[in-house]
Amino acid sequence: MTPNMSLFSVHAILLLSPDDRSRILTKYYSAPHVPPNTADHPGSNPYPTVKEQKAFEKGLLEKTNKSGGDIILYDGRVVVYKMEGDVMMYVVGGGEENEILLFGVVLALRDSLAILLKNATDKRTLIENYDLISLAIDEICDDGIILEVDPVVVASRVSRPPAQDVQLKGVDFSEQGVMNLLEIGKTKLAERMRQL
Protein backbone atom coordinates (compact mmCIF):
# COMPACT_ATOMS: atom_id res chain seq x y z
CA MET A 1 0.00 0.00 0.00
CA THR A 2 1.42 3.39 -0.98
CA PRO A 3 1.18 6.15 1.58
CA ASN A 4 -0.97 9.17 0.84
CA MET A 5 1.42 11.85 -0.39
CA SER A 6 0.25 15.30 0.54
CA LEU A 7 1.54 18.70 1.56
CA PHE A 8 -0.99 18.73 4.41
CA SER A 9 1.23 17.43 7.18
CA VAL A 10 -0.01 19.34 10.25
CA HIS A 11 -3.45 18.56 11.65
CA ALA A 12 -3.27 20.93 14.61
CA ILE A 13 -1.07 23.34 16.52
CA LEU A 14 -2.01 23.64 20.17
CA LEU A 15 -0.83 25.91 22.97
CA LEU A 16 -2.27 24.59 26.22
CA SER A 17 -1.79 25.32 29.89
CA PRO A 18 -1.19 22.12 31.88
CA ASP A 19 -1.78 23.90 35.20
CA ASP A 20 -5.47 24.67 34.73
CA ARG A 21 -5.96 22.57 31.55
CA SER A 22 -7.07 25.61 29.57
CA ARG A 23 -6.62 26.47 25.93
CA ILE A 24 -4.37 29.39 25.12
CA LEU A 25 -4.46 29.06 21.34
CA THR A 26 -5.56 26.12 19.23
CA LYS A 27 -5.63 25.81 15.45
CA TYR A 28 -7.03 22.75 13.74
CA TYR A 29 -6.41 22.51 10.02
CA SER A 30 -8.30 20.87 7.21
CA ALA A 31 -7.53 20.89 3.52
CA PRO A 32 -9.76 23.16 1.43
CA HIS A 33 -10.78 20.36 -0.97
CA VAL A 34 -11.31 17.19 1.04
CA PRO A 35 -13.60 14.60 -0.54
CA PRO A 36 -16.77 14.09 1.53
CA ASN A 37 -16.98 11.17 3.98
CA THR A 38 -13.22 10.53 4.05
CA ALA A 39 -11.79 10.81 7.54
CA ASP A 40 -8.48 9.17 6.53
CA HIS A 41 -7.73 11.59 3.69
CA PRO A 42 -4.58 13.70 4.27
CA GLY A 43 -5.57 17.15 5.41
CA SER A 44 -8.98 16.19 6.75
CA ASN A 45 -9.77 17.56 10.19
CA PRO A 46 -10.05 14.60 12.58
CA TYR A 47 -11.80 16.68 15.25
CA PRO A 48 -14.41 18.88 13.56
CA THR A 49 -16.37 19.92 16.67
CA VAL A 50 -15.19 21.86 19.71
CA LYS A 51 -16.37 19.05 21.99
CA GLU A 52 -14.18 16.52 20.18
CA GLN A 53 -11.25 18.95 20.19
CA LYS A 54 -11.49 19.55 23.94
CA ALA A 55 -11.75 15.80 24.62
CA PHE A 56 -8.63 15.22 22.51
CA GLU A 57 -6.77 18.03 24.28
CA LYS A 58 -7.75 16.76 27.73
CA GLY A 59 -6.50 13.25 26.95
CA LEU A 60 -3.35 14.65 25.39
CA LEU A 61 -2.55 16.73 28.48
CA GLU A 62 -3.09 13.73 30.75
CA LYS A 63 -0.82 11.57 28.61
CA THR A 64 2.00 14.10 28.21
CA ASN A 65 2.08 15.31 31.83
CA LYS A 66 3.30 11.87 32.90
CA SER A 67 5.83 11.25 30.14
CA GLY A 68 9.16 13.01 29.78
CA GLY A 69 9.64 12.60 26.03
CA ASP A 70 9.07 14.89 23.10
CA ILE A 71 6.98 12.64 20.85
CA ILE A 72 4.07 10.28 21.33
CA LEU A 73 1.59 8.37 19.23
CA TYR A 74 -1.84 9.33 20.56
CA ASP A 75 -5.22 8.50 19.06
CA GLY A 76 -3.53 7.26 15.89
CA ARG A 77 -1.71 10.58 15.42
CA VAL A 78 1.91 11.59 15.81
CA VAL A 79 2.16 14.34 18.42
CA VAL A 80 5.37 16.25 19.11
CA TYR A 81 5.48 18.66 22.02
CA LYS A 82 7.64 20.96 24.07
CA MET A 83 7.12 22.45 27.51
CA GLU A 84 8.11 26.12 27.73
CA GLY A 85 7.48 27.83 31.05
CA ASP A 86 3.91 27.01 32.00
CA VAL A 87 2.80 26.31 28.40
CA MET A 88 2.74 23.06 26.44
CA MET A 89 3.22 23.46 22.68
CA TYR A 90 1.88 20.61 20.54
CA VAL A 91 2.07 19.89 16.83
CA VAL A 92 -0.25 17.09 15.70
CA GLY A 93 0.23 15.21 12.44
CA GLY A 94 -1.15 12.11 10.81
CA GLY A 95 -0.15 8.63 11.95
CA GLU A 96 2.20 8.18 8.99
CA GLU A 97 3.74 11.66 9.19
CA ASN A 98 7.47 12.34 9.50
CA GLU A 99 8.26 13.01 13.17
CA ILE A 100 11.37 15.05 12.39
CA LEU A 101 9.38 17.39 10.17
CA LEU A 102 6.78 17.93 12.89
CA PHE A 103 9.50 18.39 15.49
CA GLY A 104 11.02 21.10 13.30
CA VAL A 105 7.68 22.90 13.40
CA VAL A 106 7.40 22.79 17.19
CA LEU A 107 11.01 24.01 17.52
CA ALA A 108 10.35 26.83 15.05
CA LEU A 109 7.28 27.82 17.05
CA ARG A 110 9.16 27.75 20.35
CA ASP A 111 12.16 29.69 19.05
CA SER A 112 10.15 32.30 17.16
CA LEU A 113 8.01 32.95 20.25
CA ALA A 114 11.19 33.29 22.31
CA ILE A 115 12.48 35.91 19.85
CA LEU A 116 9.18 37.79 19.65
CA LEU A 117 8.45 37.72 23.38
CA LYS A 118 12.09 38.20 24.50
CA ASN A 119 12.28 34.76 26.20
CA ALA A 120 9.15 35.42 28.30
CA THR A 121 7.10 32.48 27.06
CA ASP A 122 4.50 32.06 29.76
CA LYS A 123 0.72 31.93 29.74
CA ARG A 124 0.15 35.57 30.67
CA THR A 125 2.59 36.89 28.06
CA LEU A 126 1.09 34.66 25.38
CA ILE A 127 -2.41 35.92 26.11
CA GLU A 128 -1.25 39.56 26.11
CA ASN A 129 0.48 39.06 22.74
CA TYR A 130 -2.16 36.84 21.17
CA ASP A 131 -1.97 38.72 17.86
CA LEU A 132 1.77 38.11 17.46
CA ILE A 133 1.45 34.44 18.35
CA SER A 134 -1.39 33.91 15.92
CA LEU A 135 0.57 35.62 13.15
CA ALA A 136 3.67 33.55 13.94
CA ILE A 137 1.69 30.32 13.70
CA ASP A 138 0.20 31.49 10.41
CA GLU A 139 3.70 32.20 9.08
CA ILE A 140 4.90 28.74 10.11
CA CYS A 141 1.89 26.75 8.91
CA ASP A 142 -0.98 27.65 6.59
CA ASP A 143 -3.95 25.27 6.37
CA GLY A 144 -1.76 22.36 7.49
CA ILE A 145 1.02 23.09 4.99
CA ILE A 146 4.40 23.91 6.54
CA LEU A 147 5.68 27.18 5.08
CA GLU A 148 8.65 28.28 7.18
CA VAL A 149 10.67 26.75 10.01
CA ASP A 150 13.39 29.37 10.43
CA PRO A 151 12.48 31.25 13.63
CA VAL A 152 14.43 34.39 12.67
CA VAL A 153 12.51 34.70 9.38
CA VAL A 154 9.18 34.08 11.14
CA ALA A 155 9.97 36.67 13.83
CA SER A 156 11.05 39.25 11.26
CA ARG A 157 7.82 38.84 9.30
CA VAL A 158 5.67 39.10 12.41
CA SER A 159 7.40 41.67 14.59
CA ARG A 160 6.00 45.13 15.02
CA PRO A 161 7.96 48.13 13.75
CA PRO A 162 9.53 50.14 16.55
CA ALA A 163 7.18 53.00 17.38
CA GLN A 164 9.36 55.02 19.75
CA ASP A 165 12.53 55.06 17.60
CA VAL A 166 11.03 57.16 14.80
CA GLN A 167 11.49 60.89 15.38
CA LEU A 168 9.21 62.91 13.11
CA LYS A 169 9.31 66.19 15.02
CA GLY A 170 12.13 67.80 13.01
CA VAL A 171 10.95 66.61 9.58
CA ASP A 172 9.47 69.27 7.31
CA PHE A 173 6.56 67.81 5.34
CA SER A 174 5.65 71.04 3.57
CA GLU A 175 6.09 71.53 -0.16
CA GLN A 176 9.31 73.46 0.42
CA GLY A 177 10.69 70.63 2.56
CA VAL A 178 10.01 68.09 -0.18
CA MET A 179 11.65 70.37 -2.76
CA ASN A 180 14.74 70.71 -0.53
CA LEU A 181 14.90 66.93 -0.22
CA LEU A 182 14.67 66.59 -4.00
CA GLU A 183 17.54 69.06 -4.50
CA ILE A 184 19.72 67.20 -2.00
CA GLY A 185 19.01 63.96 -3.84
CA LYS A 186 19.95 65.52 -7.19
CA THR A 187 23.26 66.85 -5.88
CA LYS A 188 24.17 63.52 -4.25
CA LEU A 189 23.33 61.65 -7.48
CA ALA A 190 25.42 64.11 -9.54
CA GLU A 191 28.39 63.62 -7.16
CA ARG A 192 28.13 59.82 -7.47
CA MET A 193 27.95 60.02 -11.27
CA ARG A 194 31.09 62.21 -11.41
CA GLN A 195 32.98 59.68 -9.23
CA LEU A 196 32.26 56.88 -11.72
Which is nearest to 26 in space by CA: 17, 35, 36, 15? 15
Give 75-121 pLDDT, tens digit per residue: 889 999 998 888 999 999 988 888 999 999 999 999 999 999 888 88
Q: What is the pTM of this model?
A: 0.74
Instruction: Give the residue among 3, 161, 193 at the shortest CA–CA distance from 96.
Output: 3
The region, left, alpha or beta by phi > 0 then psi within -120 to 50, assigned to residue 146 is beta
pLDDT tens digit sequence for 136-194: 999 999 888 899 999 999 998 887 665 555 565 666 667 777 778 788 888 888 888 88
Which DSSP symbol is given to 25? Answer: E
Residue 55 half-sphere exposure toward CB, CA atoms < 13 A:
8
What per-residue string of b and e applies to 37-56 under the rule 16 or more CB within 10 Å gives b? eeeebbbbbbbeeeeebeeb
pLDDT at res. 192: 83
